[in-house]
């Protein structure tokens, strides 16, 4: 696990965050499952893809054809996914990205990225490392590790927590792949999140 603070130029962070704000509630509850492909030498279509390319330079993945990216938005009182392995979910073969990574736009209560040392087909995890959300913080880890997001109490997510939702946790998740994952469109092909580009 590598953690880089002050990862991106502040102006780029502001522009990418402003683009995400323009989405409003569009696909809010399915944001973790709304992914896009950006080829290695692709031209960015908006500020979020500019951030993806800038993060690529920090992650330094070797032998990758491109990056799968998505905007993770959720309240830490209602985390929409369990601990999981990143993989080509629509492919016939189980493939994992070479590297997985999370860029944080803001601090929130809870919402830590939790990464274990468990790999597919291996034994149970023996280590767990957590990274607290901080503005302009970037975490990079091996793409075949079991990981997840902790809830507002810093625990493995389960059912929705009582009380107010609190602040929205906003991240940019970037997975670097040797080959294009199955049926993941480019942003231009997808026809969604059009307000990312003014």
Question: What is the residue extent of each domain of the chain?
Answer: 2-196
Measure Cα distances from 159 to 152, 155, 162, 165 in Å. 12, 11, 9, 13
pLDDT in tens, 84-106: 999 998 888 889 999 999 999 99
Given a cut of 90, whether residue 160 has pLDDT beyond it is: no
d(CA 35, CA 175): 10
Q: What are phi and psi of 190, to 5 degrees?
A: -70, -35
- 154, 150, 5, 14 alpha-carbon torsion, rounded to 10°: -110
Q: Choose which CATH entry (2.30.30.40, 2.60.120.620, 1.50.40.10, 1.10.150.120) describes domain 2-196.
A: 2.60.120.620
At residue 52, the pLDDT reads 98
Closest residue by Cα to residue 83 from 147, 155, 158, 127: 147
Short-list 99, 90, 56, 82, CA closest to 147? 82
> Tokens standing for 146?
């079991």
| Token output for 44 | 């960015």
**Model-level pTM?**
0.96
> Of 63-72, 148-157, 162-171, which one has max mean pLDDT?
63-72
């Amino acid at each position: 696990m590598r953690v880089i603070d002050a990862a991106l130029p502040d102006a780029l962070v502001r522009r990418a965050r402003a683009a995400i704000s323009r989405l409003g509630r569009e696909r809010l509850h399915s944001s973790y499952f709304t992914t896009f492909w950006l080829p290695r030498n692709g031209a960015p279509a908006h500020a979020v893809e500019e951030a993806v390319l800038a993060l690529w330079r920090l992650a330094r993945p070797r032998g990758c054809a491109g990056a799968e990216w998505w905007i993770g938005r959720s309240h830490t009182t209602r985390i929409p996914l369990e601990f999981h392995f990143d993989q080509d979910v629509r492919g016939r073969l189980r493939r994992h990205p070479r590297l997985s990574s999370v860029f944080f736009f803001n601090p929130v209560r809870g919402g830590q990225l939790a990464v274990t040392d468990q790999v597919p087909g291996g034994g149970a995890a023996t280590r767990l490392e957590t990274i607290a959300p901080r503005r302009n913080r970037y975490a990079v880890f091996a793409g075949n590790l079991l990981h997840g997001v902790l809830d507002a109490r810093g625990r493995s997510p389960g059912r929705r927590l009582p009380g107010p939702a609190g602040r929205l946790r906003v991240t940019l998740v970037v997975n670097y792949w040797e080959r294009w994952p199955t049926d993941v469109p480019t942003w231009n092909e997808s026809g969604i999140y059009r307000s990312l580009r003014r």
